[in-house]
Structure 1
Amino acid sequence: MAQPKPNTRIRLEIVHEDASIVVVNKSPGVVTEPGKSHRDDSLLNALIARFGGKMLQMGERRDYGLLHRLDRQTSGCVASALNHDAYDAVRAQFEARTVDKRYLAIVRGRMHTGTQSVELNLEEQRVATSEGTRLISVVARAGKPARTDINVLATSTTHTIIECTPHSGRLHQIRVHLAHLGFPLEGDPIYTVGARVLPATKAKERTLALHAWKLSFDHPAGGRVDATAPISRKFHEALRSAAIAWTP
C-alpha cells in the first residue's frame, strides 16, 4: 500500500480515543483502506488527516496503524493504533482471536429465539465478475475452521435482528454462515439461501444490514478498550423496513 494521502472530506466519528488507540465508527459505503478504485477516499485517508504523523510513522509494514478491516458496505467499529508498541500489542490479540467482536445483523426470515453456534469450515475462492475477479468464501470440508455465535434479539413476521460473535476472522464469515442456515443478510448481493453465490458486481452492492457494534480488547497500557458504535441511519431504516421493534 502506498503512503495514504490525508482527506478531510471523509466523515470521522470517533467512539474511543486515547494516546495509543483510536476506534471510529465507519460509515457504510466507505472503504477501510485505499485501493485501486479508492485511492484517497478511504477511512484510512480520514484517519491520516486527523492523526497525521503518528500513523504515517508506522509505515506500510504496520498498515499505517490500521489494526483490522471491514467490508465497504459494513458499518461500525474499526480500531487503529497511534504508535508502534500499541500496534504490535493489539495486532497480536487480533491474530490470537482474543478480541471480542459483536455484530448486529438483520436477516431475511424469522429465526427461533435463543442462541446457537455455527461451526462450518470456509475456503476462499476467486470468481469472475463483470469488473474482473473477486474473492468469496464457500463452505468446504477442506477449508479453515470458522465459528460464529448467534443470539436472537427481536423478530418481525419476515425478518430477525441478531447479535453475532465471530470467533475466527474468515472472509465474509458471518454472511456465509447465516446464508448457509437459510437466513441471508438483508442487502447481501452475493450470498443467498444455502450460501449459494449470486452473480453480482461490486457496483451493484447495496448497504449490508451488518454493523460492527462492539469491540473489546486489552489496552497495551493496562485495562480494557470497550468501544460501542451507534447504528447508522441506513441501519435504522433497515429496521423500520423489516418492521422490527428493537433499539440498542
Structure 2
Amino acid sequence: MEKQISSEKTVLEIPRRLVDKRLDVAVFDLLQKKLPTRSLSRGSITRLINERKISLNGRETIPDHLVKLHDTAEVSTQDLFTPAPILEPQEDIDIPILYEDEVIIVINKPEGIQIHPARRGINMKTIAHWIITKYPKLRGIGEDPLRPGIVHRLDRETSGVLVIAKTEASFKSLKELFQKRAIEKTYIALVYGHMETLEGQINKPLIRHSGELKRFAVETQCVPEGAREALTLYRVIARYAEFDLLSVTPKTGRTHQIRVHLASLGNPIVGDKLYTSKSLRRGDKFFSQRQLLHAFRLKFDLFSKKYTFGAPLPPDFQSVLKDIDPVRHQGRDSTFFQSEATGAKGPSSPIKGKAKVISNGVDETSKTVY
C-alpha cells in the first residue's frame, strides 16, 4: 500500500508479503509496482537510504534493516529521479593488483581510501574512481553507477583483499556467494589486552547505536526489533605483553561486525577511534593512526574454479608489530602464516600475498605479490 503525501514525498506501507525483507528490497519492490514505466535500480534505492533520503517510520536507518508489517517508508520522489552523479577518472590513485582474469580483479586495498563515494562526495578519491580510470568498460557493471563491479566493502581504514567483478555474470554470482555466506574471509587484527581464551566465538546480535548513526552496538540480554544476528570466530596467533594478534573469521557480514564484537569483549582493535575509549588510547604509546584490521585472505568457488587470495600486511601494521614487546609470545600459532595462500613465516616478517586458482584440479596460479 502507498500514500502520496506531497508532490515530492511518497509513503509506502509494508504489506505482509514483504515482512522480514531488507528495506532496500521492499522499497524497490513497491516502487516498481507503483511506477512501472520508470527506470529504477535497487542500487539507487540503497544509495538513497545511505544518504538519508529514505526513512523508515520517520527515522534514518540502513538498507539491510528488516521491515515489519505496516512499517512505513518515506521516499523523496525528487531525489529518486535525480540522475546519479558520474564518476570522473582519477589518474593519481595507485592500487596494488593481486590477481586478474576475464571475470574478476582482486586488489590489495590500501588503508585510508574509501571503496566508493557518497553522492555528496563525488569528487573524493575512492576505489570506484580507480576502477573506472583503469577499467572504463566496467562502468555500468552492478547495481549502482557509483559502485562499478563492487560486490563487498572494507572500511576506509581497513586494508587488504577486495574482489571486483568484471562482468554482470560474475557480479551476480559473487553477490549470491556473499549473501549465502559461501565466501571464507580471514582478517588479522591487533587488539588491546589478552583474549580470555586462545580460541573462541562471539555470537552477539548487532543493532545500530541509538545515539550515533555511525556506531553499532551488541545486544546480549534481549534481541530488540532491528537487531541482526552476527557470529565471529577468532584465534590468538601471537601474544605480546599488552596485546593479542588475532586471526578473525566473520561468519556473517554485518557492518563493523569484527570491530564491535571484539570491543564488546573488552579487547578493541588498536587504533579504532570509534570503539576504543579515549583513556585506553591515551595510555597506548604504540597507538596507530588507523585501526589495525587487515583483510588477509579470501577463498571462494566461482564458475568451477577455486580461488584463494592472500594480501601482505601493510608496512604500518608490520611496523607496530616490530615495535611492541618482542619477548613474550605465549600462545603464538607458528603455523598460521605458513598457509598455502600466503607463503609467509610469521607476523613480524614481510607477509607475502599469493593468488591461487584451481580449475578442474589443475593449478592455474598466475601471480604472486611480495
Q: One fold, TM greater than 0.5?
A: yes
Distance in 2 between residues matched to 1:154 and 1:51, nearest whole Å: 40
Mapped contact 2:297–2:308 kept (Cα < 8 A): yes
DSSP 3-state at the match of 1:48: helix
Q: Which blocks of at least 5 consecutive residues in structure 2 are unaligned?
A: 1-83, 282-287, 330-346, 352-370
Q: Could you tell me which residue of structure 2 aligns to residue 216 of structure 1? A: 299
Superposed displacement of residue 112, structure 1: 5.1
Deviation digits for residues 39-98 of structure 1 (CA, Å, limit 9, x no counterpart): 340011112111111x10325447311011111011011111001001001110111111
Stretches of 4+ moved more than 6 A in 1? none
Q: Does 1:139 align with 2:215?
A: no
Mapped contact 2:87–2:122 kept (Cα < 8 A): no
Superposed displacement of residue 38, structure 1: 5.8
Distance 1:29 1:93, change over 3 A: same
Matches within 5 A, 1:99-110: 99-110=183-194
Mapped contact 2:90–2:133 kept (Cα < 8 A): yes
Q: Kindly indicate whether structure 1 or structure 2 has the higher relative contact order, using CA contacts under 8 Å at least 6 residues apart.
A: 1
Q: Could you tell me which residue of structure 2 aligns to residue 153 of structure 1? A: 237
Q: Does 1:230 align with 2:312?
A: yes
Q: Does 1:43 align with 2:43?
A: no
What amino acid does structure 2 have at the position aligned with 1:158?
Answer: E
Superposed displacement of residue 127, structure 1: 4.0
Q: Could you tell me which residue of structure 1 aligns to residue 182 of structure 2? A: 98
Q: Does 1:70 align with 2:186?
A: no
Distance in 2 between residues matched to 1:156 and 1:162, nearest whole Å: 11
Q: Which blocks of at least 5 consecutive residues in structure 1 are unaligned?
A: 129-133, 199-204
Distance in 2 between residues matched to 1:231 and 1:38, nearest whole Å: 29
Aligned length: 231
Deviation digits for residues 103-159 of structure 1 (CA, Å, limit 9, x no counterpart): 00000112356310110000023645xxxxx42111122211100000110011101
Mapped contact 1:166–1:174 kept (Cα < 8 A): yes
Mapped contact 2:88–2:129 kept (Cα < 8 A): yes
DSSP 3-state at the match of 2:236: strand
Mapped contact 2:107–2:161 kept (Cα < 8 A): yes
Mapped contact 1:110–1:159 kept (Cα < 8 A): yes
Q: Could you tell me which residue of structure 2 aligns to residue 183 of structure 1? A: 267
Mapped contact 2:207–2:218 kept (Cα < 8 A): yes
Distance in 2 between residues matched to 1:83 and 1:152, nearest whole Å: 38
For residue 321 of structure 2, the aligned residue among 239, 244, 247 is 239
Q: Could you tell me which residue of structure 1 aligns to residue 340 of structure 2? A: none
Superposed displacement of residue 8, structure 1: 2.2
What amino acid does structure 2 have at the position aligned with 1:145?
Answer: E
RMSD: 2.1
Distance in 1 between residues matched to 2:309 and 2:86, nearest whole Å: 28
Distance in 1 between residues matched to 2:196 and 2:239, nearest whole Å: 9
Larger C-alpha radius of gyration, 1 or 2? 2
Distance in 1 between residues matched to 2:135 and 2:156, nearest whole Å: 22
Identity %: 29
Superposed displacement of residue 164, structure 1: 0.3
Distance in 2 between residues matched to 1:216 and 1:59, nearest whole Å: 21
Q: Could you tell me which residue of structure 2 aligns to residue 88 of structure 1? A: 172
Q: Could you tell me which residue of structure 2 aligns to residue 131 of structure 1? A: none
Distance in 1 between residues matched to 2:289 and 2:122, nearest whole Å: 17
